[in-house]
Amino acid sequence: MYKILFGGFSQETNSFSPVPADRNAFEKRRLFFGEEIFEKIQGEENEVNGYLDVLQKCSDVSLTPSIMFSAGPSGPVSRDVYDLAEISILNVIRENGPFDGILLNLHGAMVAQDHPDAEGDLLQSLRLEIGRDIPIFVTLDLHANITQKMVDNATVMLPCEKYPHTDCFELGKRSAELLLKTLRGDLKPVMAFASVPYLMPLFPTDLPPIVRFYQLADEIKRKCSLVELRIAHGFFPANIPGMGMAVLAVSNGDKQTATDAAKTLASAIWEGRESLKRTYTPLDDALDLTMSGRVKWPVVLGDGSDNPGAGGPCDTTHVLRRILQRRMQGTALAVICDPKAVQICKNAGKDAYVQIALGGHSDARLSGGPLSVYGKVVRFVDGIYRNRDEMEKGLLVNMGPSVVLDISGNLVVVSSERCQVLDAEGFRSCGIDPEKQKVLIVKSAVHYRQSFGKFAGALVDLALPGYCAPDPDIFRSLGFHLG
């Protein structure tokens, strides 16, 4: 019988974000211990359910859950949460071990107070506890910043490969299968890593300039008979030493081949890095396009600079301000997070007209400031829905009690929690038919493309001021210093 410990500790850190990642933030998303993990994550197509899908079918595997902690992307994780995660996993090892293998879902771009390389430190602690011989397999986000410490203390680390991240469940399955093969003696995994010191903008993986690197990875993998050859994109707002892109190669017992393959692919990416730049549509051009008749409705605007899925406060007002200045109608925006505005609407009641200073409270310099609006309270919703499409499919989303406002013919969802509406279900759950709008605005950089791409006439990525400007050059131009 193979005894396997599994768990997860995941948060993407934007070191500049004013949004705290304290215990409260984790309690809102996931702060689960032991057996409750099974029940709490039912129905979600995530990495851990990928592990379970493979391992629960094996009669020779005994599974021990440890913890599953996650918070929305935000500032550095508080010291108490990091300590709680580390000691909780160590305690499960001490009380229920020894284990034959460990499966962990981490992000890879987590920064904690006093732990700039949070995943590296966590893996080192686990490695010290269990020794060198027990395999530790780790699933990572595509945006992981891979460090030498992470590589030194994990047996195999695999980032997902798609952006939008629609392959998390498959990634979990793949890692569990490889761990099983290792335990059964059918695989002797050897991992090599090569960093690419390039800070890439947020880059959808179906765009041609990056597709060619994935094709090259496939060629090298086949030629060298590798088990895996994967590219981590890195996450520049984490702002830690050594961040950027990286290549991870896994071979069956052949260190040199894995090392050479990782270096070959990393060199090719470095040489071709100029192709991995993006251009963004200016806001007025994007709004002109929506009304030009050249593309069918709805046109979806991705305001990635305030993406709560990258640490944004989710309350900037740039797009709505311009829409109202231009006297446009027929747009729908989800969401602006402003709990005080929700309360004012509640006090006023359904069908009432309210005058409010909406959003923009997070930061006067970047947010655009509060927007003075006069609107009708159309309806109240509980803000809870389940994603329907492939990106984070099945995930139960909670944007908190929310209100739909009609502001001069535009529907604006005001929420009481930050929420990246990356699934069209976010609009439907608020009584808004996304397919009947002219323009949809979401605070999402890339993930929205999967769900909205099914029916949108065009998807337009913006790069406005905000804590999550999707490009390192634009980020720097806003006054952020990337070390």
Gap between the Cα atoms of 474 and 406, Å rounded: 33
Question: From the CB of 150, what's the least distance to Zn ion, in Å?
Answer: 16
Query: Least CB distance from residue 383 to Zn ion, whole Å?
Result: 23
| Nearest-CB residue for Zn ion | 143
For residue 461, what are its two tokens? 């990525």
State the minimum distance, in angstroms, from the CB of residue 10 to Zn ion: 10
Shortest spacing between CB 2 and Zn ion, in angstroms:
31
- Is the Cβ of residue 143 or residue 361 nearer to Zn ion in the bound state? 143
352 vs 160: CA distance, rounded Å: 47
Are 304 and 446 in contact, with CB atoms under 8 Å apart?
yes
**50, 169 Cβ separation under 8 angstroms:** yes
Closest C-alpha among 138, 125, 118 to residue 75: 118
- Angle between helix 318-325 and helix 283-290 axes, rounded to 10 deg: 50
Nearer to Zn ion, 251 or 420 (CB): 420
Task: Give 202 or 324: the residue with its C-beta nearer to Zn ion.
Answer: 202
The footprint of Zn ion (CB under 5 A) covers: 141-143
Q: How far is the CB of 142 from Zn ion (least distance, A)?
A: 5
Q: Which amino acid is at 142?
A: L
**Cα gap 479→262, rounded to integer Å:** 34
CA distance 338 to 360: 9
- Cβ nearer to Zn ion, comparing 136 with 144: 144
Closer to Zn ion at the Cβ: 142 or 220?
A: 142
Contact 155, 136 (CB under 8 A): yes
Q: Please, what is the minimum distance in Å from the beta carbon of residue 359 to Zn ion?
A: 25
- Nearer to Zn ion (CB atom), residue 196 or residue 324: 196
**Chain centroid offset of residue 294 CA:** 32
In the complex, the smallest distance separating the C-beta of residue 242 from Zn ion, rounded to whole angstroms, is 18
- Count Cβ atoms within 10 A of the Cβ of residue 165 and give its class: 0-12 exposed, 13-18 middle, 19 or more buried: buried
**Nearest distance in Å: CB 231, Zn ion:** 13
**Counting beta carbons within 10 angstroms of the beta carbon of residue 96, is it exposed (0 to 12), middle (13 to 18) or buried (19 or more)?**
middle
Give the DSSP per-residue string, 186-217. S--EEEEEEEE---PPP--TTSHHHHHHHHHH
Could you tell me the smallest distance in angstroms from the CB atom of residue 374 to Zn ion?
38
Cβ-based nearer residue to Zn ion, 48 or 413: 48
Nearer residue to Zn ion within complex by CB, 142 or 245: 142
For the bound state, the minimum distance from the C-beta of residue 107 to Zn ion, rounded and expressed in Å, comes to: 8
Of 115 and 143, which CB lies nearer to Zn ion in the complex structure?
143
DSSP 467: T
- Going through 11-60 in order, the beta strands assigned E by DSSP cover 30-33
Q: Which tokens hold the place of 134?
A: 């027990």
Q: Which residue has the tokens 């939008």?
A: 164
Of the pair 395, 458, the CB lying nearest Zn ion is at: 395
Is the Cα torsion angle 201, 204, 207, 209 positive or negative in sign? positive
